[in-house]
Amino acid sequence: MRIGVPRETTAGERRVALTPESVARLVKTGVDIVVERGLGVEANLPDEMYEKAGATFGDPWTADVVVKVQKPTADEARKMAKGAILISLLPTASSADLLSQLAGAGVSALSLERVPRITRAQSMDILSSQATIAGYKAVLIGAAEMGKILPMLTTAAGNIPPAKAFVLGAGVAGLMAISTARRLGAVVSGFDIRAAAREQVLSLGATFVGPEPSADAEAAGGYARAQTEEEQRKTMDAMATHLKDQDLVVTTAQIPGRAAPRLITAAMVASMKPGAVIVDLAAETGGNCELTTAGKTTVHNGVSVIGAVNLPSSVPLHASLMFSKNVLTLLQHFIKDGSMTLNLDDEITGPMCVVHNGATRT
Ligand code: NAD
């Protein structure tokens, strides 16, 4: 069986789906790996490393299985053979045409967003590994944008109080943002609607602000359910009071399959101190802040609102190492006796498979 790994062509994407280390592990099990020359250049993984790991250079699109980070373009997907399998990020809501094209061409597709949130699949969960990197980088970006430093300083040139950082949404990215801001010396607070997240915020040494989470706020897989109007109003009242005093705000609140909840209004931004920074990690799903524009920084009354997009790609080496470890574990799960067959009754394969046998499954 041959696995192909093409170069990423999506603007700004610097990660790779398989690192040389993972390639070596797969080659040892008898799988052939074909990579496109220059695959890992942007992630500091030169061709020589892939060569040493046992990969060959050639056309990855003709392989039995094509593994990549971002979904392919229509032209790229057209190069795949009937019966081949695509494994990549594949947001189904915005990929209807691509999914029909793949179905028409007899190609099967597995969406990396759909790894089920079960203990057994934790080591395959790309959303979690990449959210960890995003939470870390969000704090660094915010810190670099601020006209202040984060730690408290007592010096001959005067005393500087610690900056105040607030993290809204304490899931995977939010908890990483809290621990990163704490390490940099900020006084950190957090909020989430799930009760489990409250305990995690406190265990990281941050304070918890906002309304007490209700016991039923957690839906399947640890995700949050959407709040009722009354709950959202209470959340926003608490935000309005707390935000006025914050220097750095990282927002990460998401509800699977829906637009991100709007929790920070333009009026709340206007009430913040000039020089404060909001880094909105939910920018790609509409943003947690009313003023967020994905991929842009908006300055309102001296407050910068950064619409962060694909932050994992800005840390390409470590993001790729984690992404690739997830993909390797998935492939090891799928490959039986040297070939990859899709068993749709399997609790991991079934939910991930979005195209099979000429039909879409979304
Ligand atoms: P996510 O990216 O969907 O959401 C980020 C955070 O936003 C979540 O913590 C959510 O509760 C919060 N949120 C949603 N609406 C909000 C609102 N109105 N106000 C404030 N916060 C709001 O979620 P995620 O970070 O990927 O995962 C959430 C949790 O799922 C994790 O903390 C973990 O407990 C669980 N999880 C389990 C597995 C597994 O078992 N394999 C894998 C990953 C995550």
CB 31 within 8 A of CB 51: no
Res. 228 pLDDT band, cuts 50 70 90? confident
Res. 24 pLDDT band, cuts 50 70 90? very high
Ligand 1, atom 36, residue with closest C-alpha: 222
CA 211, 212, 214, 217 dihedral sign is positive
For ligand 1, say whether the CB of 128 is within 6 Å of any of its atoms.
Answer: yes
Enter the pTM of the model.
0.95
How far is 211 from 235, CA to CA, in rounded Å? 6
Q: Which DSSP string corresponds to 300-345?
A: ETTEEEEE---GGGGSHHHHHHHHHHHHHHHHHHHEETTEE---TT
Q: Above 90 in pLDDT, residue 235?
A: no
- Type of residue found at 117: R
For ligand 1, say whether the CB of 143 is within 6 Å of any of its atoms.
Answer: no
What is the model's pLDDT at position 227?
86
Tell me what the pLDDT averaged over the chain comes to: 96
Q: Above 90 in pLDDT, residue 223?
A: no
- Cite the active site residues: 117, 122, 125, 128, 223
Give the angle 306-312-315 at the CA atoms, nearest 5°.
105
What is the model's pLDDT at position 103?
98
Q: Above 90 in pLDDT, residue 341?
A: no
Mean pLDDT of 185-201: 95
Measured from the Cα of 222, ligand 1's closest atom is 30
What is the model's pLDDT at position 77?
98
CB 348 within 8 A of CB 116: yes
Measured from the Cα of 173, ligand 1's closest atom is 25
Mean pLDDT of 263-285: 97
For ligand 1, say whether the CB of 223 is within 6 Å of any of its atoms.
Answer: yes
Mean pLDDT of 4-33: 97
Token pair in block for residue 195: 């009760």
Q: Above 90 in pLDDT, residue 291?
A: yes
Mean pLDDT of 128-150: 98
How far is 249 from 348, CA to CA, in rounded Å? 36
Res. 287 pLDDT band, cuts 50 70 90? very high
What is the model's pLDDT at position 212?
85
How far is 347 from 116, CA to CA, in rounded Å? 8
Q: Above 80 in pLDDT, residue 220?
A: no
How far is 342 from 323, CA to CA, in rounded Å? 21
In the chain, what is the greatest distance between 2 CA atoms, to the nearest angstrom?
A: 72
Residues 48-92: pLDDT tens digits?
999 999 999 999 999 999 999 999 999 999 999 999 999 999 999
How far is 162 from 128, CA to CA, in rounded Å? 30
- Describe the crossing of helices 316-334 and 126-145 by its angle, rounded to 10 degrees: 170
Ligand 1, atom 25, residue with closest C-alpha: 171
